[in-house]
């Protein structure tokens, strides 16, 4: 009888409706994956412009367009000034509209809390907060000028910001409890000091003269072997002291000011992050404006969650899951490499909306096992089916099963080329893979007529040592044995595979260079394919002859998004 009752109760429990499982982060090999609806999820995102979610009508107009563009996630600001227009009175109308429209248009949401700081400034703090500058004091420059930046050293500022954030998080938890629409939350936006590297308010100066937190010093000592090189070098300037004031331990310069300020910002953000963890436990992150163009702290937003400050931020804000770069400057590949670290997965919440976004998405998923990418002001993009980003996202959505299954296993590479960075060689155990921009082939007039080359990019997935997937746009790939093909100087060949011109001096070139290879790698077959939801490949067409340069290479022209299945073979 007892067993019968037990099984009836178990059946009832299993058939009861359950609240949605909240998103989380999980390791797979060396990669960190975002788990949504109990499945790994790649963010094909876009961030709305700063004012594009400030009225219901705009939200209703924009969200259907985002679905047509192929996004699966939208990053949306939540404005403190509109959430708490008068002190203690909260309005969550916009939050609910965002959730409703996201669900209606098959989108996940990442909320961005525009609280005490947005791009360093306190422009989204409510007017009642800004007017009462005695209760909610400002940061000051070294020469005593007050700034439109709330002081992170004021407990009143923290408590007001935290109260609003907590009320909003409570609403989200209730409104999303039966769904999984909200998959991450960003706390503040591009936090950091401007004009000076640190706050010079009375409270800040007092803290600067005090002893460095023992919590931070213990962290540095415990993690000394794994500290960021910039942090290790800065600490080492004064002999790795373990007690003292900020200047005694780190020296007296702008970069010490930045470390000091980063610690305060991180500890401040941790207070909000702990509230979020207790209310609705989804992944949390902070984003950074880049320290680019040779600017010094204060010329860029000093002390933000920048790569060289990761140790300070991870110690001061352990409830934050990762630091994320907002990339607008040139050198996209270099910036992404700074943020894909063993202790920091790569997510790009903001990047300039441009024609290159599609190929860059392929690159970050292939090269860095990225969580996702999100061009800024996405509503200004085109939803035309032939738009580069739309086509790129559509192809990535199709490739998602293959990408997810290969994350963290060392079987993927990302390719990204432009007019200056045209080539990359990837070494495998028994071969070399030479990848290049498509315009290194001179057959397209745009390669040589003075046109600016659009970026070419792709993801290369190794299915086994002699079988690959290449997917993307604007790339050429050759495969060769370790000691053969790319090491030989070759004649320029025409599209037909014949020499462009004759030269008696070169007719015995391969003999002169000395053939030393024991075997060669050949292209057995190249098929254009589609990827099914289970990761299987669906044949579209065979590519051969002119489309592979008579078996010399594999290529995807500029402007076309394709997935190619490549089988190699070895011969002597």
Integer Cα distance of 565 and 547 in angstroms: 14
Integer Cα distance of 474 and 570 in angstroms: 27
Contact in structure between 526 and 554 (CB atoms under 8 Å): yes
Identify the residue whose tokens are 């290049």.
436
pLDDT in tens, the chain (572 residues): 445 544 444 444 443 434 556 899 999 999 999 999 999 999 999 999 999 999 999 999 999 999 999 999 999 999 999 999 999 999 999 999 999 999 999 999 999 999 999 999 999 999 999 999 999 999 999 999 999 999 999 999 999 999 999 999 999 999 999 999 999 999 999 999 999 999 999 999 999 999 999 999 999 999 999 999 999 999 999 999 999 999 999 999 999 999 999 999 999 999 999 999 999 999 999 999 999 999 999 999 999 999 999 999 999 999 999 999 999 999 999 999 999 999 999 999 999 999 999 999 999 999 999 999 999 999 999 999 999 999 999 999 999 999 999 999 999 999 999 999 999 999 998 899 999 999 999 888 888 888 899 999 999 999 999 999 999 999 999 999 887 754 444 455 666 565 565 554 554 444 455 666 678 899 999 999 999 999 999 999 999 999 999 999 999 999 999 999 999 999 98
Contact in structure between 72 and 107 (CB atoms under 8 Å): yes
Contact in structure between 434 and 480 (CB atoms under 8 Å): yes
Tens of pLDDT along 308-334?
999 999 999 999 999 999 999 999 999
CATH match of 413-499+513-571 with 1.10.357.10:
no
Given 3.20.20.80, 3.40.980.10, 3.30.479.30, 3.40.50.720, which CATH number is that of 15-202+253-379? 3.20.20.80
In this prediction, residue 7 carries a pLDDT of 45
Integer Cα distance of 200 and 216 in angstroms: 21
Distances (CA, A) of 560 to 107, 438, 554: 26, 11, 14
Q: Which of 491, 458, 451, 464 is nearest to 476 (CA)?
A: 458
Identify the residue whose tokens are 């559509």.
394
**Residue 398 dihedral angles phi and psi, to the nearest 5°:** -65, -40
Q: Where are the domains positioned within the chain?
A: 15-202+253-379, 413-499+513-571
**Residue 401 dihedral angles phi and psi, to the nearest 5°:** -60, -40
For 477-504, letters b (16+ CB in 10 Å) and e give bbbbbbebbeeeeeeeeeeeeeeeeeee
Tens of pLDDT along 372-424?
999 999 999 999 999 999 999 999 999 999 999 999 999 999 999 999 999 99
């Amino acid at each position: 009888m007892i067993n019968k009752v037990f099984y009836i109760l178990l059946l009832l429990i299993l058939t009861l409706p359950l609240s949605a499982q909240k998103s989380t982060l999980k390791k797979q090999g060396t990669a960190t994956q975002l788990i949504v609806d109990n499945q790994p999820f790649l963010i094909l995102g876009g961030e709305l412009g700063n004012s594009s979610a400030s009225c219901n009508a705009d939200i209703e107009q924009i969200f259907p367009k985002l679905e047509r563009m192929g996004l699966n996630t939208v990053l949306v600001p939540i404005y403190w000034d509109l959430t708490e227009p008068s002190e203690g009175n909260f309005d969550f109308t916009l939050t609910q509209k965002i959730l409703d429209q996201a669900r209606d248009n098959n989108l996940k949401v990442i909320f961005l809390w525009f609280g005490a700081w947005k791009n360093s400034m306190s422009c989204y703090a409510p007017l009642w907060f800004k007017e009462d500058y005695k209760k909610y004091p400002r940061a000051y420059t070294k020469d005593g000028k007050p700034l439109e930046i709330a002081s992170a050293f004021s407990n009143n500022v923290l408590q007001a910001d935290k109260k609003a954030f907590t009320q909003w998080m409570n609403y989200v938890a209730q409104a999303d409890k039966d769904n999984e629409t909200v998959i991450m939350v960003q706390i503040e936006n591009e936090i950091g000091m401007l004009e000076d590297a640190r706050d010079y308010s009375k409270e800040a100066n007092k803290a600067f003269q005090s002893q460095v937190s023992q919590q931070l010093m213990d962290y540095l000592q415990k993690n000394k072997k794994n500290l960021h090189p910039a942090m290790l070098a800065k600490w080492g300037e004064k002999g790795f002291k373990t007690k003292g004031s900020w200047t005694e331990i780190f020296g007296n310069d702008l970069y010490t000011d930045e470390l000091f300020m980063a610690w305060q910002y991180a500890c401040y953000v941790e207070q909000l992050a702990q509230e979020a963890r207790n209310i609705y436990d989804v992944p949390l992150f902070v984003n950074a404006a880049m320290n680019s163009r040779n600017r010094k702290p204060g010329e860029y937003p000093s002390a933000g969650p920048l790569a060289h400050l990761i140790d300070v931020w991870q110690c001061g804000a352990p409830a934050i899951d990762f630091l994320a770069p907002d990339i607008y400057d040139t050198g996209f590949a270099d910036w992404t490499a700074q943020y894909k670290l063993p202790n920091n997965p790569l997510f790009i919440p903001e990047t300039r909306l441009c024609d290159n976004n599609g190929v860059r998405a392929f690159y970050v998923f292939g090269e860095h096992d990225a969580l996702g990418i999100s061009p800024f002001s996405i509503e200004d993009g085109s939803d035309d089916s032939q738009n580069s980003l739309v086509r790129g996202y559509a192809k990535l959505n199709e490739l998602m099963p293959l990408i997810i299954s290969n994350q963290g296993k060392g079987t993927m590479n990302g390719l990204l080329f432009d007019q200056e960075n045209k080539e990359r060689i990837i070494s495998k155990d028994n071969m070399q893979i030479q990848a290049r921009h498509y315009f290194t082939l001179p057959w397209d007039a745009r390669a040589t007529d003075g046109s600016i080359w659009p970026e070419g990019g792709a993801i290369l997935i190794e299915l086994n040592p002699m079988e690959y997937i290449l997917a993307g746009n604007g790339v050429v790939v050759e495969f060769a044995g370790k000691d053969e093909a790319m090491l030989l100087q070759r004649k320029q060949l025409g599209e037909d595979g014949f020499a462009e011109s004759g030269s008696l001096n070169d007719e015995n070139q391969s003999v002169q260079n000395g053939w030393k290879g024991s075997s060669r790698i050949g292209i057995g077959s190249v098929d254009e394919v589609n990827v099914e939801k289970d990761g299987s490949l669906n044949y579209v067409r065979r590519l051969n002859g002119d489309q592979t340069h008579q078996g010399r290479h594999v290529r995807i022209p500029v402007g076309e998004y394709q997935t190619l299945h490549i089988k190699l073979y070895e011969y002597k």
